Amino acid sequence: MPAPGLALLLPPSEGKASGGGPAPWSPDSGSLGALLGERRRQVVEALEVAGGGDQKLLGVGGDHLARARAANRHLLGAPTLPAGERYTGVVWDHLDPGGLPAAVRRRAGGRVGIVSGLQGLVLMADPVPDYRLKMGARLSPLGVLATWWRPAVTEAIEVWARRRVVVDLLPKEHRAAWAPDTAAFAEVIRVDLVEPGPAGEVRVVGHDAKAAKGLLARHLLLSGGDPRTALASWSHDRFSLRFDPTVM
């Protein structure tokens, strides 16, 4: 029996490439648009009422706020880029989707899922507009987006990743947006990057580990085969992997 395939969960990035091609975005866009379109539409409507969002909602000021508000006010029909090209943060720079071999890049388009405050779940090959909206934001009248999205994102991940090995590299904010039913998958493996603390304890690391997380994601995509074997073979000169036993 062949090894189960990989379904890799990653966060989006706050940094995003601007512009895009002529294909206009709508809430129904992409692989999961039929399933998530109505919820995406509600987010768009809430952002329009909020004028694209203020500094408190979006977490930026100055020119960054002006760009974010403009993007958020004009989502319907906005130009798009594939998610793997739109996201430009540290994780994505080190994953480097454009530098993957062509065959690996094609497979990755359907194997990498991004948990998004705007779209709920989007695959790496799916179209994404320019926007800014954190999963942990409180957007009236929806509330905290991670909580509001949870039922729909949980269903979408089950539809997309059923019977595969799900490797969850999400940060806490995005991990809160789904509640895995492990019976739906070959396995769910929640992974944190850790390092020894000053007193010898092991501590979970955040920003400093983003580059390593991107390298780990790239390793999983390049390895092929059983994702569990690929996880076991990964090494880093600073960080190690810690697995959440509650979902294994």
What type of residue sits at position 76? L
Q: What is the dihedral of CA 189, 192, 197, 202, to 10 degrees?
A: -10
Query: Do the Cβ atoms of 112 and 168 come closer than 8 Å?
Result: no
Hey, how many other C-beta atoms are within 10 angstroms of the C-beta on 16?
22
**Distances from the Cα of 156 to the Cαs of 39, 115, 123, 167, 180, in angstroms?**
12, 10, 11, 15, 11
Helices (H), the chain: 33-49, 55-58, 62-73, 83-86, 90-95, 102-111, 145-161, 172-175, 210-223, 227-233
pTM of the model: 0.94
Q: Is 220 helix (H, G, I), strand (E, B) or coil?
A: helix
Predicted local confidence at residue 132, as pLDDT = 96
Predicted local confidence at residue 207, as pLDDT = 75
Predicted local confidence at residue 23, as pLDDT = 84
91 Cβ contact list (under 8 Å, min separation 6):
10, 11, 13, 210, 211, 213, 214, 217
Query: Do the Cβ atoms of 205 and 193 come closer than 8 Å?
Result: yes
Query: Do the Cβ atoms of 105 and 97 come closer than 8 Å?
Result: yes
Q: Is 93 helix (H, G, I), strand (E, B) or coil?
A: helix
Domain ranges of the chain: 6-247
User: How many degrees, rounded to 5, is the angle at CA 128 between CA 127 and CA 133?
Assistant: 160
What type of residue sits at position 115? V
* Cα atoms in the Cβ-side hemisphere of radius 13 Å centred on 224: 8
Hey, what are 2's tokens? 């062949």
One digit per residue, the tens of pLDDT, for the chain of length 248 reads 677 899 999 999 998 999 999 889 999 999 999 999 999 999 999 999 999 999 999 999 999 999 999 999 999 999 999 999 999 999 999 999 999 999 999 999 999 999 999 999 999 999 999 999 999 999 999 999 999 999 999 999 999 999 999 999 999 999 999 999 999 999 999 999 998 777 655 677 677 789 999 999 999 999 988 999 999 999 999 999 999 877 76
Predicted local confidence at residue 176, as pLDDT = 97
